C-alpha cells in the first residue's frame, strides 16, 4: 500500500535536517574534494534549499547537523581513515566559528533553525542532543538532506530508525561517492529503512499536497 507523504510529513511533527552541509565539507577547497564534486555534479543544493524553505514556511523544524573541531584537537581522534584525512587537511578546518565550519549559504540559517554540533563520531545522533531535541519538539518524522550516503546519512538513518523515528530521504537531495555507489546504497539499503522520494514531493507534502510510494 503506497505511503501518503502528506500523512507522515505533518509540519508540527516533522524535522528537516541537513547533514554536514558545511562550507568546509561540500564547498570547494575542503579535504573531501570528491564529495564536493559529487554535490556540485548532482545539483542537490538548490533542490534541498527549497525543502528547507518549505519547512520554515509551514512550521516544520529545521536543523543542521555539523562537525566542529577545537583548535587543540581535543575530543577528536584519528581512529579511522576518514578522521585521519580530516586531521591532515591544510587550513583552519572545521573550527567553531570559522568560515569552513558554517553551513553553505544557500541553506541559511533561518532565524529559528537549530544547530546540532558534534566533535566525534559519524552519525548525527552520536553523543549529541539531537534525540532529546527531537522528542521535546514532538517530532516523529525526520527528513535527511546532504552528505554522505557512504557514512553519515546511512548511520543517521539507522540510528533514527532504532529510536522509532520515521525517516524520509529525497534521492535528489543527498549524495555520496562515487555516484554509482551512492545510488546502490539508496536502492539496496536506505530504501528498506526509509521512504525514498524527491525534494519536490517533500515540498508538496509539507504543503498538504501529493503522495509517493
State pLDDT tens for residues 90-120. 555 788 889 999 999 999 999 999 999 998 8
Q: What percent of the chain has pLDDT over 70?
A: 86
**Considering the chain, what is the average pLDDT of its residues?**
90
Q: Which CATH architecture has domain 17-204?
A: 3-Layer(aba) Sandwich (3.40)
Q: How high is the pLDDT of residue 133?
A: 98
d(CA 10, CA 189): 25
Q: How high is the pLDDT of residue 66?
A: 96
Q: How high is the pLDDT of residue 113?
A: 98
Peptide bond into 129 cis (omega under 30): no
Residue 212, C-alpha cell as written in the block: 509517493
State pLDDT tens for residues 1-18. 467 898 999 999 999 999
Neighbours of 125 (CB within 10 A): 21
Under a CB-based contact definition with an 8 Å cutoff, are residues 183 and 41 in contact?
Answer: no
pLDDT higher than threshold 90 for residue 58: yes
Question: Residue 169 forms beta bridges with which residues?
Answer: 196
Q: Which of 44, 69, 75, 58 shows the shortest CA–CA distance to 16?
A: 58
Q: How high is the pLDDT of residue 96?
A: 86
More confident residue, 205 or 92: 205
Q: How high is the pLDDT of residue 74?
A: 66
pLDDT higher than threshold 90 for residue 176: yes
Structural domain boundaries in the chain: 17-204
Q: How high is the pLDDT of residue 119?
A: 86
Amino acid at each position: 500500500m503506497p505511503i501518503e507523504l502528506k500523512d507522515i510529513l505533518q509540519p508540527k511533527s516533522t524535522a528537516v535536517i541537513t547533514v554536514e552541509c558545511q562550507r568546509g565539507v561540500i564547498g570547494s577547497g575542503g579535504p573531501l574534494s570528491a564529495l564536493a564534486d559529487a554535490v556540485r555534479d548532482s545539483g542537490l543544493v538548490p533542490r534541498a534549499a527549497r525543502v528547507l524553505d518549505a519547512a520554515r514556511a509551514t512550521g516544520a523544524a529545521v536543523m543542521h547537523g555539523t562537525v566542529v573541531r577545537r583548535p587543540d584537537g581535543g575530543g577528536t581522534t584519528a581512529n579511522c581513515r576518514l578522521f585521519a584525512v580530516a586531521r591532515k587537511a591544510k587550513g583552519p578546518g572545521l573550527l567553531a566559528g570559522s568560515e569552513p565550519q558554517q553551513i553553505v549559504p544557500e541553506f541559511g540559517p533561518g532565524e529559528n533553525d537549530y544547530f546540532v554540533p558534534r566533535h566525534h563520531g559519524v552519525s548525527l545522533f552520536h553523543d549529541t542532543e539531537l534525540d532529546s531535541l527531537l522528542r521535546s519538539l514532538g517530532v516523529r518524522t525526520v527528513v535527511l538532506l546532504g552528505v554522505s550516503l557512504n557514512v553519515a546519512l546511512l548511520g543517521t538513518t539507522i540510528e533514527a530508525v532504532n529510536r522509532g523515528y520515521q525517516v524520509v530521504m529525497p534521492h535528489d537531495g543527498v549524495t555520496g561517492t562515487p555516484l554509482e555507489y551512492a545510488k546502490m546504497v539508496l536502492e539496496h539499503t536506505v530504501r528498506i529503512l526509509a521512504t525514498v522520494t524527491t525534494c519536490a514531493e517533500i515540498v508538496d507534502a509539507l504543503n498538504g499536497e501529493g503522495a509517493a510510494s
